[in-house]
Structure formats: C-alpha cells, structure tokens
A and B are shown apart, each in its own frame.
Chain A
Amino acid sequence: MNLVLTKSDWAKYPFVPEATEYIKTLGLKVDSLSRPEFEPILDRAEGRVKEALLTNPPKVSYLEHNEEVELSSFPVAVVIAAATADDFIKKRYALAEARRAYDLLRREDKWKVLEVAKAFGWRVNVVTDEASAPRGYQLKLHFVDFLRNVKAFHESNWKLINRVMLGGEVYLTTYEAARLLQEEIRRHIEAKLRIDVRPILPPNVAQMVEELRLIRRRRFGKVYTEEIRFPKEAVVEAFPPCIRNLYEAAASGSHLSHAGRFALTSFLLNAGMPPSKIVDLFRSSSDFNERMTRYQVEHIAGLRGSRTRYTPYACDTLRTHGLCPGEENLCRGLRHPLTYYRRKLRMKAASKRSRPADQV
C-alpha cells in the first residue's frame, strides 16, 4: 500500500519535499510580498512566528479551512523568522512548527505517519501481522534513524536497551513515531533557518521583522542570560560520590582513565575551579606532563580548539563508563552530578543557618 500525500496533507506538513515543489510552482517572490493579493499569506506567515513567541510551550496552530494559505505561508514565515537573525526566535519557531506537526501527526493513522517519515528519508516500515512480530507496535524504524532523533529524550522507555529491536529495526507505536518525527522536523526547520543572509525585504515585511524582535525582547529579554551560580571556591565536601572518588584518586596520584579525567575536569570547571588549580590536582600522577595536562584542561574549558566549553557528563554517561559508585540517598532521581552538588550546597547552607548560636 503506497499512499501519496494529498494537498490537504501538504497544508498540514508544508515542509515535506512534495509540498516544497508545489509551492515553487506558485511563483511566490519575496519582493512581491507587498502586493495586496498576497496579504492573507503574509498575515498568516507573521501569525505563525508570533504564535511561536506568544504561546507556552510554543505551538503554531493549524487553520483547517484555508489550505492554500496554510501551505504557502510556511516558506514566507521561514523567511521572516530567518530575517530576525535572532537565534532564540529561530529555535523557538522551529520548535513551535514541529509541535504543530506532532499534534496533527498523532491523530493520523500509521500509513500517513509512514509517508511523512519516508519524506525525511527514514528507513521505516509498517509492522505486518506475522505471528513472529512483537505485538502492540505499528511501525519499525532503522536503529540509526531512531538514535538520531531520540537524543533529547531522557525517559528510560526511550533508551535503546528498553526498546524491542530486531534485525536493526526498532519497534514503535504510531504515536511514538510521531513524537520522534517532531524532533526530525524541528531539526529540519532549524537547518532551513540557519542561513544567515538577511534578504532585502519590502518595507512592510521589514517592519514585521522589527516587531517580532521587539516582542522577543519584551517577553524573554533576561530569562536566558541568567547563569547558575556556584560559590567561588569548589566545595569538595559537597561533591557527589562519583566525583569525590575521582577527585581523591587524582589527588593521590592514581591513574585515571580518559573518561574519568574528562568527567572530573569538566565537573570542576563548572563548579568554578580555575584551570590552573585543576592542573595542579593532576601533578602527583606518575605520568604527569604539565604541557599536555594544561592543554587538555584548557581544551575542556573551551579556551582552546573548538572553543566550546564542555558540559560535564550526566549520571547516565558516568554509569556507562563505570564511574558511578552506586547511588547515594541524595542521588536518587538525579540525572546530573551538578544537581547533586547544588542540592548538597543548599542543604549545607540551610543547616548552617539553623545551627543554634552556642554550637560551633
């Protein structure tokens, strides 16, 4: 059975290649956007980006009865969002469109979801009713396509080990496939928006773009610049068990595995320890090499090379590398050792405050 997507599907999923092809035939041009006959399209395009900024969690709506406008306003909205040259707007818009698509997809049957997935090049098939097939699943997806899209999910039911996988195919419900597609769509639109050319826009469109930037500044101006603050000096007693082990091992000159070194260094950097102190920590190791160590630490700190500061390993990763010595009470329900650290610091502060005056 091979169902083709219809025009009303394109209105729902305007990013699939066939829809893009169709839009091309309409001859929509940026400089013609000021013409009155395009007004409804332009309005809806602005509406899409605006919705992304004004709803929470962000989601673009779906206007069922106006397929033509719903379809052709999408590429225009992409141009507008890109023209804001604002990463926050771009990300949020991509997410809002992806959530719109997810909302529509989860109401479709497996065949429709299959077609949309195939449009993105997924190696995906419908589960047939053979006796050997695991029950309760409608679709099966190649594990590489699965892994590519599952990264943002941390629930244990999305871990590969907890999936049914046979012959390289991960079994999914239609609903789960739709959720994974949301990720694919989000990345697809983000990639479309990455082009950093500011198109020459007709004045009315340029004004729209300015307005959107204003909304963004008013609503989100400060929120995203806030940083989590730790005390200036790293507080060793508040380290989680995994980090404490590594720290003590390093301090006493034991050899640490590559993963261990990375875990410790990136944690300490994020806990506010200066690179030079971390280099000192490794000094007692028998294979200590000042230049190499300094280089590695500064690399992880983002002072060299790719210039990205590395985020420390999450518990999950530490567990994989056998660096989690087993959870302590405070670890329960945590996903990240930095959270442990933050909690412990808070507890220490609280107990200090509540200590009676006559105790030292």
Chain B
Amino acid sequence: MTVDRESFIKSKFREFYESSSSMVEAPPSIEMREFGFLLFKDRVMVRHKGFRDVESLRSFLRQIVPLHAYYSAAYYAAPEEPMERKGWVGADLYFDIDADHIPTPCQKVHDVWVCRGCGFKGRGTPPERCPLCSQRRFEEKTWPCEVCLEAAKRETMKLVDILLKDFGFSQDEIKVSFSGHRGYHVHIEKDEIKDLDSAARKEIVDYITGTGLDAKFHGLEAAGEGSRVLVGPHLGDSGWRGRIARGVYDLLLKADGEHLEELGLRRNVVKTIVENREVIIRSWESGGPWGLIRGVGLESWKAIIRKGVEAQAAKIDTVVTTDIHRLIRLENTLHGKTGLLKVGFPTDKIEDFDPFKDAVAFKRGEVTVFIEEAPEFRIWEETYGPFKGEKAELPVAAALLLLCKGMAEVAQ
C-alpha cells in the first residue's frame, strides 16, 4: 500500500514538473547559488548543485522530480564546492514565519504527536517528556490549518509593516511568498543588505521580535528631574515608540483582571485598572496613561509593556534569518508535505492571498482514496471532511494533500 502512495505522489509531481517547470524562475545570480533537492528515493538530499542558467535548472527538475527543491539565500564564488571552499560572497535577507512558532488554540485539535519510545499519542505540541515512558523523542504531525495560516499571515503583515516603515524598504523590494505548508516567507534581495554578517542580521531579528527592548530608550521616563510622575510614548509615534503605545493600549483595553495579575501586578493595581478603563482609554487623547494610575510605577509599566511588545512584534523563526548559509524553498515548486506550491505574490495583496486557492497546483482530475483520519479542510471553495476510516473520491489536489500528509492511501 505504502509503495502505491509513494509512486502515486511521485507520478503527480512528475506530471507537474513536465508541464509546469517553465514557471520556475531563476533567482538573481543563479550561477552563484547552491541548490539542494530532496529525492523520493530513500529521502536522500542532493546538495551543492549549481546551475548556469534557468533552463538547466528546469530540465534537472523534470529529470529528477524532487520531493522538495531548495536554493541558497547565499551567493557563493563556487557553489558546487563543499561548504568550507564555497567562498561566501553575500546572502539575501530572509525571514520565515511558520505556524509552528505561533501558538493557536486549534493546534490542540489538529496536531498530533507520537512518542518514538512507546508509541503513546497525544494532541497539540508534545510535552517535554512522554507521560508514559518519559522519553523525549516524538514524531510530530502538523496540519496546514486555515486558522493557523491566518495567524501566520497576521505575523507576516506585522513583519512587512516593520520592513516598510522602520527599515525603509519599498513595496517592490519586499518579496512575500507562501511556503507551501504552514507559513510565509519574506525576503529582500537588495545589494546593500547582502554582506550583512550573522551578528548584524541578529540585530535585525531582535528589532523585529522586540528582543532586548528597554522602554527607557523609547520615551518612558520621569516627567522631570526627580519627579515621580511618568511620561511615555504616544499612539501616533513612529517605530517602536508607537508600537509600545499601541500594544499597551490594546492590552489595557481588553485584558481582564486575571490576565493583568499574571503580569505580576498587585491586586489593588489591577482593580484600579479594571475600574478606570474608561478614563485610561480617554487619557490617550493627551499624554497617555503613564502618569495616571496610582500604584503603577516604572516596574509595573515595564511588565505591561513587555506583554504589549510581544503582541506587536512579528514572530519569525530567528534561526533562518541569522543563518547565512540557509537553503530556501524554490518558488513555484511543490512542497512534498502538501503537494501545494510555494508561490509569491505582491506585498499589497497579502490580505487577499488564499493559500488553498492560489497555491493549488493540480486543477484537474479525481482520485479515490482511503482516509484513515483527517480534519476538515478546504480546496478552492469546496470543503472536505472531517474523515475517519472511510473512502472518498476527491479532486487530485485534495487527495494529494492527504496522501502527502500520510493520512490516506490510494484506494485500489
């Protein structure tokens, strides 16, 4: 049965590359990039490949039909050499936003983990240790769910906003794409950022994630020498000042007593905040609430701000951006875990982008599959499932998603 599934997926992938490899574009300076491909057979990774032009890349894709196809964000003098002799010349600035890094309530519903030690199963993110055999190794099965992907999109929009306003990149310089699985990629190919080293990229990461922020450098201070009254940033301020203010605004607007206590605020302070919500909200019209609430001093504000900053920051995968040798999925190739495409789209169309429509690669044909278990999902306008131990005739794209996820087999 398994062989069948595998060969079915591969035949579909082959069909795709045969008809559509011309969609694959060359990344800038293709001759300086390293390429990597994960093969179906034995899941072998072929690395250190180089191509002179896009035609040879396309014909290679048609020939090997990979499960995953990658290229380096880096530029090398000799991309086919082993790592230490490649000669790093520079790298694009890359950001990865993956639902794995964003906590959502539905993860508990659709994500499954299995203990590698004893086979114990659970839902959501795996625990530190298996409750049964207390080993720490798990196999995780995640799901590209709409809610999670929407959450990832929100984070992507925050990131784009920071890149536009704070870093001053233009709409066309910021390239956004759907990863084909559970997230989005954002990247910049501008010359000026190419030779930033890992340490400099880490500073950019910290800026975007709000790491190491100290509000005293963003306007939170005593109103005057020796004064115990505080002043702080305003809603309309630019950069992190404004984000701090807006983060705090949202928090004080929505948070209930319990949430505020979790921040370590004293009970009577929490009570003051909850009871004076109206006054606090109105205070933003003038100087903000910084000097307003009795009993909320510098330390309490810092705790509130930390929470507000967390909400305003974009949750990117920090490692991807600082790793200057990273391989990145090639645009307009198939993701082996879903059969969906990695596709780019204009920055200002991000709101309208629909992964279950715009990233669908297979538009024709039907196939009958036996589905072990699968949550409800959508392809185009049609929803399917949930399924449990049943046969169903599905459009190829829908079937492929389940097959790639290992949730179904091709029915004989």
Contact = CB atoms under 8 A, between A and B. Distances in A.
Interface of A: 134, 142-144, 147-148, 150-151, 156-157, 159-169, 249, 252-255, 257-259, 286, 299, 304-306, 316-317, 319-322
B192 interface: yes
Given A167-B165, A322-B318, A253 B84 contact: no
B136 A165 contact: no
Contact of A161 (B210, B238, B318): B210
A150 B200 CA distance: 9
B72 interface: no
B217 A156 contact: yes
A164 B239 contact: yes
Interface in B166-223: 166-169, 192-193, 196, 199-200, 202-207, 209-214, 217-218
Contacts of A305: 83-84
Contacts of A286: 116, 137
A349 to B, nearest CB: 33
Given A144-B192, A165-B167, A320 B136 contact: no
B63 to A, nearest CB: 27
Nearest to A259: B319
A156 B58 CA distance: 48
B165 A320 contact: no
B168 A167 contact: yes
B323 interface: yes
B212 A316 contact: yes
A304 B137 contact: no
Nearest to B136: A254
Interface size class of B (residues with CB under 8 A): 35 or more
B59 interface: no
Contacts of A316: 212
A253 B133 CA distance: 14
B200 A320 contact: no
Interface in B303-331: 318-319, 322-323
Interface in B220-279: 238-241
A147 B203 contact: yes
Contacts of A167: 165-166, 168
B20 interface: no
Given A258-B319, A319-B211, 10 more contacts: A144-B192, A144-B200, A151-B200, A159-B212, A161-B213, A165-B167, A166-B168, A168-B167, A305-B84, A320-B202
B200 A166 contact: no
B320 to A, nearest CB: 10
A148 B116 contact: no
B135 interface: yes
Contacts of A159: 203, 206, 212
A263 B50 CA distance: 31
Contacts of B207: 160-161, 165
A147 B168 CA distance: 15
A37 to B, nearest CB: 45
Of all A-B residue pairs in the complex, the 10 with the closest CB atoms, nearest first, are A168-B168, A305-B84, A167-B168, A162-B217, A254-B136, A147-B200, A160-B203, A161-B207, A160-B207, A252-B136
Contact of A255 (B137, B206, B210, B323): B137
Contacts of A166: 165-166, 168, 238-239
B193 A144 contact: yes
A258 B218 CA distance: 34
A160 B136 contact: no
A168 B217 contact: no
Contacts of B167: 143, 165, 168
